[in-house]
């Protein structure tokens, strides 16, 4: 996408104040392009992942195990966003942390490109670590560009940033997915590494346009704290190595020895982290109130992502086995379904950004709680729609591709009412003490949702059955109505945040 830089009058001292990026600070272009290439690498790999796991030419696992691995992997990516935020707050600062993250992600994709099951799982681990370091911090740096600006402009900036995410996500399955499915799985993973290399290079070249605040380490570790942290990390690493060595050499090791602890951690850690922040006596009354409101948004988001992220696992595996995957007689790779959501995001995000601004000018913009409620109802409706192709497949027929496209469309509309708004409200409601870490807390909602899906798959629940799909849809719709009913209470707790 072209940068479309234009002269504009902005607040003095804003990075890149001579030019803007679609009316926003010039640094947004740097972060936009960095995130675009990182998402190209991530979503390309993710589009291939469930298909590679079940393919005879891949790891040839059953659908339940593939869904469990996929869900646990995504949960781990977002779980690691929290220590990623901590690392920036206490050690390197956001800007340097993102540079380190890009290198680790690139190395992870190169490891995935090696034709070995052992290196494959190591590559997944590296990509998860790098993504965790990057995710919270790059979004925090977007927030830094809007210090002192009104919330409406910040919302618009995050919506533009969201387009960058989805531009990379759109292109990835078309390029990486096609090569991986039709040429060689591991060559597809190598292309993901190339995408991250391009993103990292662009980030390093465009860093001068970012806010000076992104260089700061808000609460640096003292020498004693560094020594203590290293000792504790070394101890836990040693415990893990010894434990898995014993399990491995005893001959009882299965993949569940790795998957189950991560899924449990994905459910327990979000609760522990939020409770710890809520109990922090350093927070003033206003910050405590905002955290109480934030819990509502967190729970709503966890339910949303539990269903939404199955678009890359449950729906993809269903398409691979039970859909025609043709339009007007023209066949296409299954991974291409993963481009449907991002292209719709790019088409609809500007419409939503314009709509929120137009409603705001008239004093009729829905509250954040109402937007979240709408997202939950829509994600539930998408799984009610999923019941149609499931019924067709149960009747022994292949479901038309347009059924899946329709499901992704409904999910996209729901995403636009919840995800960019959630990113924005997190930066606005974050206590100063937890500036970068709060973005990690937001991503823990994704962890909780995907960990739930992973736990169900590990337990042997078939997520492509009518009963479980109906149950998930009902839970989401009921949660949406609950969020709407309590919207006034949540609004009071948010204080001065709009």
The model's confidence at residue 189, banded by pLDDT at 50, 70 and 90, is: very high
DSSP structure class, residue 90: I
| pLDDT score recorded for residue 496 | 62
| pLDDT score recorded for residue 14 | 46
| pLDDT score recorded for residue 10 | 41
Q: List, for residues 253-298, the tens digit of each pLDDT value.
A: 888 888 899 999 999 999 998 999 888 888 888 888 888 888 888 9
Q: List, for residues 111-148, the tens digit of each pLDDT value.
A: 999 888 778 889 999 999 999 899 878 878 887 888 76
| pLDDT score recorded for residue 164 | 80
| pLDDT score recorded for residue 17 | 45
Q: List, for residues 216-235, the tens digit of each pLDDT value.
A: 888 899 989 989 999 999 99
Residue 372 is encoded by which pair of tokens?
């979240």
DSSP structure class, residue 88: I
The three-state (H, E, C) secondary structure of 101-168, written as one string:
HHHHHHHHHHHHCCCCHHHHHHHHHHHHHHHHHHHHHHHHHHHHCCCCCCHHHHHHHHHHHHHHHHHH
CB contact at 8 A, 94 and 214: yes
pLDDT of 8 higher than 60? no
The model's confidence at residue 367, banded by pLDDT at 50, 70 and 90, is: confident
pLDDT of 160 higher than 90? no
Q: List, for residues 432-484, the tens digit of each pLDDT value.
A: 777 666 777 888 999 999 999 999 999 888 888 899 999 999 999 999 999 88
What rounded mean pLDDT belongs to the chain?
A: 86
SS3 399: strand
> Can you tell me the distance from the alpha carbon of 367 to that of 259, in angstroms, rounded to the nearest whole number?
38
| pLDDT score recorded for residue 86 | 84
With a pLDDT cut of 90, the percent of the chain lying above it is 44
pLDDT of 331 higher than 70? yes
CA angle 43, 81, 431 (to 5 degrees): 130
| pLDDT score recorded for residue 424 | 77
pLDDT of 82 higher than 60? yes
């Amino acid at each position: 996408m072209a940068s479309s830089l234009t002269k504009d009058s902005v607040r003095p001292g804003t990075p890149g104040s001579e030019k803007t990026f679609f009316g926003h600070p010039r640094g947004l272009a740097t972060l936009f392009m960095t995130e675009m290439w990182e998402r190209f690498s991530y979503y390309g790999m993710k589009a291939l992942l469930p298909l590679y796991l079940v393919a005879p030419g891949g790891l040839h696992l059953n659908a339940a195990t593939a869904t469990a691995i996929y869900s646990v992997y995504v949960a781990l990516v977002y779980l690691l966003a929290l220590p990623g935020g901590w690392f920036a707050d206490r050690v390197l600062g956001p800007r340097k942390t993102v540079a380190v993250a890009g290198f680790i992600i690139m190395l992870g994709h190169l490891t995935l490109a090696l034709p070995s099951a052992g290196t494959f799982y190591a590559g997944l681990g590296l990509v998860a670590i790098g993504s965790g370091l990057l995710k919270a911090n790059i979004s925090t740096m977007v927030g830094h560009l809007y210090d002192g600006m009104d919330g409406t402009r910040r919302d618009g900036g995050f919506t533009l940033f969201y387009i960058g995410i989805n531009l990379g996500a759109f292109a990835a399955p078309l390029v990486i997915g096609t090569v991986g499915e039709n040429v060689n799985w591991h060559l597809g993973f190598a292309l993901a590494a190339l995408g991250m290399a391009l993103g990292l290079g662009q980030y390093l070249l465009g860093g001068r346009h970012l806010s000076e605040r992104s260089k700061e380490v808000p609460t640096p570790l003292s020498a004693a704290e560094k020594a203590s942290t290293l000792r504790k990390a070394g101890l836990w690493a040693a415990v893990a190595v010894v434990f898995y060595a014993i399990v491995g050499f005893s001959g009882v090791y299965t993949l569940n020895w790795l998957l189950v602890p991560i899924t449990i951690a994905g459910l327990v850690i979000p609760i522990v982290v939020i409770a710890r922040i809520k109990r922090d006596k350093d927070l003033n009354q206003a910050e405590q109130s905002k955290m109480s409101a934030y819990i509502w948004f967190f729970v709503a988001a966890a339910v949303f992502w539990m269903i939404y992220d199955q678009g890359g696992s449950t729906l993809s595996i269903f398409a691979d086995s039970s859909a025609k995957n043709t339009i007007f007689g023209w066949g296409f790779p299954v991974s291409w379904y993963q481009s449907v959501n991002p292209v719709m995001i790019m088409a609809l995000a500007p419409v939503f950004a314009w709509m929120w601004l137009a409603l705001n000018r008239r004093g009729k913009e829905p509250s954040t709680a109402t937007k979240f409620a709408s997202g939950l109802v829509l994600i539930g409706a998408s799984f009610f729609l999923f019941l149609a192709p499931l019924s067709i497949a149960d009747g022994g027929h292949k479901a038309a591709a347009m059924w899946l496209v329709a499901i992704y469309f409904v999910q996209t509309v729901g995403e636009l009412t919840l995800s960019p708004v959630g990113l924005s409200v997190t930066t606005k409601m974050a206590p100063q003490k937890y500036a970068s870490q709060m973005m990690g807390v937001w991503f823990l909602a994704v962890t909780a949702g995907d960990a739930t899906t992973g736990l169900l798959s590990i337990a042997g629940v078939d997520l492509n059955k009518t009963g479980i799909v109906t149950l998930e849809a009902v839970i989401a719709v009921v949660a949406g109505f609950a969020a709407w009913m309590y919207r006034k209470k949540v609004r009071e707790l948010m204080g001065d945040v709009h």
